Structure 1
Amino acid sequence: MTQAQTPRPQLFDRRALAAQRARLTPDSLFLHEIARDEIEDRLSLVNRSFTRPAVVAPFAEVWDSCLPNAKHVPDTDVLDLEVGAHDLVVHAMCLHWANDPVGQLIQCHRALSEDGLLLVLMFGGQTLHELRSALATAETRISGGLSPRIAPMGEVRDLGALLQRAGFALPVADVVPLTAKYRDLPHLMRELRGMGETNAMAQRRRTLAPRRLFQEAETIYRDTFADPDGRLPATFELICLTGWSPSDSQQKPLRPGSAKARLADALKVPETKLPK
């Protein structure tokens, strides 16, 4: 008799996330619009026409002008994607909320036809580092401990490795750093609520945070990060992941030792042997 499998712990409360997204303020979607523009720029550099695109995104309306014929897919745990049905999948601004990010990428891989393209835009590890630091310091001063308030986000190197784990060829990961400025901490918090990016961690504290916490956090934020004009900068790090569904027609890296010319000859410098 086999033992019952222990349910996998969930990092995020998807029901709370859905409730937050339902309170969307359209004017707060500027980061999603920047992500859309970034995807458009990257697609313009690919010498291919994509006729069967799909977009995995929380707010489908942002993508109508970019990929008007795309299938819009909510970022549920099980994606509504058919095997091999698409030559392009865009996973936009939601992988950082996935309880199983590798599983999401594997599902996208399965949905791609041979030599199909995946483009992912998501928040990376430096996102809101100023707010994270200010809240952590304030809560430590007030209560002597910490509670989960801002979700952990992956670093670009680790996220790039996920593409390989999911079976993608020619994986690339790069960063688009952005900085927005706010009058005060309430201004920043309102905008995060408006874009559905407030705390939806499963282990979050369910009681209301004391007003003193945010007052102390704003003081720390200003003392540590404020611009000379008194505005508060907030970092949003967009990470772009690019991968292709494997195909025999794609370029392959050469085997070690298969080069037909020496690098020293190409550079016109003497060859130096390394000590053993």
Structure 2
Amino acid sequence: MANQRVPRIFNPARRRAIRQRAARLSAADPAASYILADMVEDTQERLAFMRLAPTRSLVIGDRHGEMAAHLSAEGSEVVSVDPADFDEEAPLPWGAFDFIASLATLDTVNDLPGALIHLRNGLAPGGVLIASLLGAGSAPALRSAMLAADADRPAARMHPMVDRRGGADLLQRSGFARQVVDSRSLDVRYGSMDALVNDMRAQGMTNALVSSPPPLGRAARETARQHFISQADDAGRVTETFEILTLTGWKS
């Protein structure tokens, strides 16, 4: 029987360039990293709630080093890797870590089940993975604006994303002994679509798809801006929602 090939949805080179750009932009304006900051804070709270004090941790995507610093202060030996240089679809040393944190990176890997299997294999028995990623309910205001701009010929401008049920299925398929999947919404208010897009660039959330859509022309771009602001409240601000999906898995 022929080997099943993993579909190529995301372009690894484009993904790497997007993350390198995000590192530069967020260094100039750390406030633009609000999604990553939320994920870091939430992961720290989960560790405290579980009373988990890992001795050796792997942290993926900790752009500003806050998660690694927290774990180090708690006595953990930390390996921190930059997702621009780290291949999540490659095997990890077997059983090397008792805790792995993945922050805002798994939503753009081609082989997500395979990546989760590698993360599970990298855990020691009893080890825990906490993976935070953008979920399927993210950026509805921007999605609506893009559809309006493309009119009757919509292009693939936004990434496909995982929902809670899909996340639970992925953890089960990946062989985790126990799984918990939950999501929460982070609402951010914007006065323009351009401000939102700039923040998304600074957070590495722009298009990394293999099939690059045609750029919006001037008229279509203006249509998108007008449609976006038409969703504004009385104060002239549009509330954009980011769904943060958290996958927690335990290795037996």
Whether these two folds match at TM > 0.5 is yes
Which of 220, 226, 234 pairs up with 2:227? 220
What is the rounded CA distance, in whole Å, between the counterparts of 1:188 and 1:217 in structure 2?
12
User: Structure 1 residues 79, 63: closer, same or farther in 2, change over 3 A?
Assistant: farther
What pairs up with 1:114-193 in 2 under 5 angstroms? 114-140=125-151, 144-193=152-201
| Cα shift at 1:133 | 1.6
Contact conserved, 1:36 with 1:66, CA < 8 A, in 2? no
One-letter amino acid of the structure 2 residue matched with residue 187 of structure 1: A
What is the rounded CA distance, in whole Å, between the counterparts of 2:90 and 2:62 in structure 1?
12
What pairs up with 1:37-116 in 2 under 5 angstroms? 37-57=41-61, 59=63, 61-68=65-72, 69-73=77-81, 74=83, 75-79=86-90, 81-116=92-127
Which of 220, 235, 238 pairs up with 2:241? 235
Match of 1:263 in 2: none
User: Structure 1 residues 49, 6: closer, same or farther in 2, change over 3 A?
Assistant: closer
What is the rounded CA distance, in whole Å, between the counterparts of 1:213 and 1:233 in structure 2?
22
Contact conserved, 1:147 with 1:204, CA < 8 A, in 2? no
One-letter amino acid of the structure 1 residue matched with residue 192 of structure 2: D
What is the rounded CA distance, in whole Å, between the counterparts of 2:170 and 2:4 in structure 1?
24
Q: Which runs of 5+ in 2 are unaligned?
A: none
C-alpha RMSD of the superposition:
1.9
Question: Helix, strand or coil for the counterpart of 2:220?
Answer: helix
| Cα shift at 1:47 | 2.6
User: Structure 1 residues 62, 199: closer, same or farther in 2, change over 3 A?
Assistant: farther
What is the rounded CA distance, in whole Å, between the counterparts of 1:174 and 1:46 in structure 2?
15
What is the rounded CA distance, in whole Å, between the counterparts of 1:77 and 1:49 in structure 2?
24
| Cα shift at 1:77 | 4.0
User: Structure 1 residues 113, 60: closer, same or farther in 2, change over 3 A?
Assistant: farther
Q: Which runs of 5+ in 1 are unaligned?
A: 247-276
User: What is the total number of aligned residue pairs between the two structures?
Assistant: 239
Contact conserved, 1:32 with 1:62, CA < 8 A, in 2? no
What is the rounded CA distance, in whole Å, between the counterparts of 1:228 and 1:18 in structure 2?
39
Computing the radius of gyration from Cα coordinates, the structure with the larger value is: 1
One-letter amino acid of the structure 2 residue matched with residue 193 of structure 1: R
Match of 1:19 in 2: 17
One-letter amino acid of the structure 2 residue matched with residue 221 of structure 1: F
What is the rounded CA distance, in whole Å, between the counterparts of 2:227 and 2:251 in structure 1?
47
Deviations 1:150-197 (A, max 9, x none): 101111111111111101122111112101111101111111111111
Match of 1:251 in 2: none
Are 2:242 and 1:244 equivalent residues in the alignment? no
Contact conserved, 1:128 with 1:235, CA < 8 A, in 2? yes
What is the rounded CA distance, in whole Å, between the counterparts of 2:90 and 2:103 in structure 1?
13
Q: Percent identity?
A: 28
Displaced runs of 4 or more, over 4 A: none
TM-score norm. by structure 1 comes to: 0.81
Contact conserved, 1:119 with 1:241, CA < 8 A, in 2? yes
Question: Helix, strand or coil for the counterpart of 2:207?
Answer: coil
| Cα shift at 1:79 | 4.0
TM-score norm. by structure 2 comes to: 0.88
